[in-house]
Amino acid sequence: MTTKTSGLGLFWQNVVSLPSSLRESFARRSAPTSDRARSQSIFANIFLHIHSTRVHPHALRLSYTWGLGVASAALFFILTVTGVLLMIYYKPSTELAYQSIKDLHYVVPTGRFIRNIHRWAAQLMVITVLLHMARVFYTGSYKKPREFNWVIGLGLFVLTLALSFTGYLLPWDQLAYWAITIGANIAASPTELTDAIGITHWFNIGAFQKELLLGASEVGEDALIRFYVLHVMILPILLAIGMSAHIWRVRKDGGLSRPGRHTTAAGKGVGASQPVPQTPSSSPTKTYGLMCVVKGKTPATDQNLDETVPSWPYLLRAELLVLMVFTFFSLVLAYFFDAPLKELANPSVPENPAKAPWYFLGLQEMVSYSAFIGGVVVPAVAMIGLALIPYLDREREQVGVWFSGAVGRVVAWRSLVFGAIAAVAMVAIPVNFGWLRNWFPGIPQLWIILINPGTILTALYVLWSVYELKRSGSTRMAAIALFTCFLVGFAILTTVGTVFRGPNWDFYWWPSQWPTH
Amino acid sequence: MPGRLDPKPIPRRDFLGLAGLWSAAIAIVGSVAGMAQLPKPRVLPEAAGTVKVGPATAYPAGTVKVFTDHRIRVIATDQGVAAMSLICTHLGCVVAEGPDGFHCPCHGSRFDAQGRVLGGPAPRALHWLPISRAADGSLLVDTKGDVPPGTFYEV
Ligand code: FES
């Protein structure tokens, strides 16, 4: 009898303590009350442990990072959530895709809003990734030991664009259909060159690439499924893996770059450049240096430990703030501006002008001189050049300083002016005077492919960088010159493509001057 | 002394370990190569490129017919019947017919009435397509084919 009641009593006790034991098993520790406990929590939590337990305040300075890396990650998070929601209604088939987007827009509760958020977050992400890249470049943060992380970052940039582009086809409207037709034909454009030198018959890499992308020779059902799979599975997974590696390496390389500090092998991690020796018996808990988890100076390491601050709360709070700010932006944009949806895709009549999404319009401008050079060669050269920058500029001074100081600022300004003038000239000349074919009607196609405004602009930029290299004797300055030129070139060509190109890709000062037809 | 002609025998365990590693490597490479073939179909899932454009009698000299769905334009002169593709040779938009030839809405390529490039980025003239006659007497245009510009099919 007694055992029974005590058994029941025990059970009752367990029932009563159910909430607290559930919570304990879930969080494994009670709410941290000291910096030390907060550091422990970061360290022990699978979701938080990508942070180091302490960060340098420099990494928190708004005017240094502008929160752009975190913003890109936050937008990716928003995109994943909204994207999964959209998948509940979207049907990847040429018959139903357009209708399902219409359903989302008009019938599904909050469907229109979610789709708008997805759309705007995607655009914002392209911008933040670009700006993040520029920030990393201009602060010299690609330098040793971060060279490879710069390369990973470039990969993430390409993945971001690829994700935007593959998402573009899914609504199956006119915009989508013709943008993908053009995109797939850019993949096929090496044929332009192989044709011109007459080897297409043996080596038709262009057609192969196009077929791989579309699963057919024209944009249709197979292309839609392929782009869908890329958009919702392959590319996001690759991006998530790449992002983890990217962030992990930032941490392993000693946190964000900052001035006056070359990371040495011993100095990885937080605070101390000399790890505090600890024998196992004196370190009953995790050995990220007990000294690091209390405030104030400590005589033990001769290091100003106030140099770092605990990630919790400072870093986590900053991250949360960035997430909230960008969620807010996306919400506001989504509330006021609807994502466009043109008429149903019509394979026999393109839009006029048929324009790609804005971040590709610079490319479209280049492509309108030569598909192969503008769509394949120049982007590939630019990407390879960017990837090589940390290996070709190995100067160690001035990491973590904007423009590497006053000289760099001047170089950047000069290159900005030069790059802008060159880009404007390369658009203005063909617009006003035509190009080779207008001057020499019988000219061989090979010349038209090779000598076009896109090639010349790229060559001018490279020459300018070489000039800056000679002038300053510094590879860093040459890199700044080249990067700045490409950045303004991209900005100007994008603006031209967006604002000044109208029907038949003719030049107009304003869309209101487009002929009505 | 073990040498090239008289090598030291590999210990059995090392041999088995290496053999295991190598067969794992070969299996992985082989299966990846096998999977990589999947996205490239052996047969493209689409209808043949031939289009029936009606009986030859429907094409007296001077006729111009545009088949928007197939993006082709069929003309007849006293030399015969000819078909031209309306797909821009630049990046595959469909060209529109204007008073002085054809122009492409996408990047501004221009073609004359014979489809020759007048300006813009298009690398070659619009494709002229082979015409043949079906068993029932109607004309067939092969949209995947390619004949030199100015090739007419005599009816
Ligand atoms: S597709 Fe015709 S000009 Fe580009």
What confidence tens digit (pLDDT) does each residue in A449-504 have?
Answer: 888 888 999 999 999 999 999 999 899 999 999 999 999 999 999 999 888 888 88
pLDDT of B118 higher than 50: yes
Answer yes or no: are the C-beta atoms of A130 and A158 closer than 8 Å: no
Confidence class of residue B106 from pLDDT cuts 50, 70 and 90? Answer: confident
Distance between CA atoms of residues A292 and A306, nearest Å: 9
Q: What is the distance between the alpha carbons of residues A457 and A419, in angstroms, rounded to a whole number? A: 9
pLDDT tens digits, one per residue of A425-464: 988 888 888 788 778 877 887 888 888 888 999 999 999 9
Helix axes A68-87, A311-336, angle to 10 degrees: 50
For the Cβ of B109 lying below 6 angstroms from any atom of ligand 1, the answer is yes
ipTM attached to this prediction: 0.85
Per-residue pLDDT, A293: 56
B73 lines ligand 1 (CB under 6 A): no
pLDDT beyond 90 at A253: no
pLDDT tens digits, A380-436: 999 999 999 999 988 877 788 888 888 899 999 999 999 999 999 988 888 888 788
pLDDT value, residue A339:
87
Q: How far is CA A274 from CA A53, A144, A277, A283, in A?
A: 17, 19, 9, 17
Pull the structure tokens for residue B43.
């047969």
B87's tokens: 């797909």
pLDDT of residue A266: 39
Q: Given the structure tokens 């930029």, which residue do they identify?
A: A461
Average pLDDT over residues A332-337: 94
Residue A18 predicted with pLDDT over 90: yes
Cβ(B86) to ligand 1 under 6 A?
A: no
Contacts of residue A178 in chain B, CB cutoff 8 Å?
93, 106
A419 phi and psi angles, rounded to 5 deg: -60, -40
* Average pLDDT value for residue range A303-323: 79
The arithmetic mean of pLDDT across residues B78-89, rounded, is 90
How far is it, in rounded angstroms, from Cα A350 to Cα B109?
A: 14
Nearest to B94 among A186, A220, A350 (CB): A350
Q: Ligand 1 centre from B24 Cα, in Å?
A: 49
Q: How confident is the model at residue A303 (pLDDT cuts 50, 70, 90)?
A: very low
Q: Residue B108's pLDDT is what?
A: 85
Determine whether the interchain pair A368/B117 forms a contact, defined as Cβ–Cβ distance below 8 Å. Answer: no
Using DSSP, state whether B154 is helix, strand or coil: coil
In angstroms, the CA B121 to CA B135 distance is 41
Q: What is the average pLDDT across A285-305?
A: 47
- Measured between CB atoms, which of B71, B93, B124 is closest to A354? B93
The pLDDT value given to residue B52: 86
Instruction: Please check whether residue A375 is in contact with residue A356, taking contact to mean a CB–CB distance below 8 angstroms.
Output: no
Average pLDDT of span B24-38: 94
Ligand 1 center to A437 CA (angstroms): 16
Q: What is the pLDDT of residues A44-56, one digit of tens each?
A: 888 888 888 888 8
**What is the distance in angstroms between the Cα of B105 and the nearest Cα belonging to chain A?**
4
- CA angle (B41, B47, B50) in 5-degree steps: 130
CB B125 within 8 A of CB B114: yes
Q: What is the pLDDT of residue A227?
A: 95
The closest residue, in CA terms, to atom 1 on ligand 1 is B91
Closest approach atom of ligand 1 to CA B107: 3
Nearest CA in chain A to B44: A216
Q: Contacts of residue A212 in chain B, CB cutoff 8 Å? A: 39-40
Q: State how far Cα B68 lies from the chain centre.
A: 19
| Residue A319 touches partner B, C-beta closer than 8 Å | no
Average per-residue pLDDT in chain A? 85
CA distance A72 to A482: 25
For chain B, how big is the Rg over CA atoms in Å? 29
- pLDDT tens-digit map of A161-179: 999 999 998 999 998 899 8
Q: CB B93 to CB A369 under 8 A?
A: no
> What pLDDT score was predicted for residue A282?
45
- Helix residue ranges, H only, B3-145: 12-36
Is residue A271 pLDDT above 60, yes or no? no
When mean pLDDT is compared over A59-63, A94-98, B139-143, the highest value belongs to A94-98
Residue A117 has a pLDDT of 96
B88 lines ligand 1 (CB under 6 A): yes
Interface contact flag, B91 A434, Cβ < 8 Å: no
Between CA A270 and CA A37 the distance in angstroms is 17
Tell me phi and psi for residue A56, to 5 degrees.
Answer: -80, 140
- The distance from CA A296 to its chain's CA centroid, rounded to whole angstroms, is 39
Which residues, listed in sequence order, are joined to residue A163 by a DSSP beta bridge? none
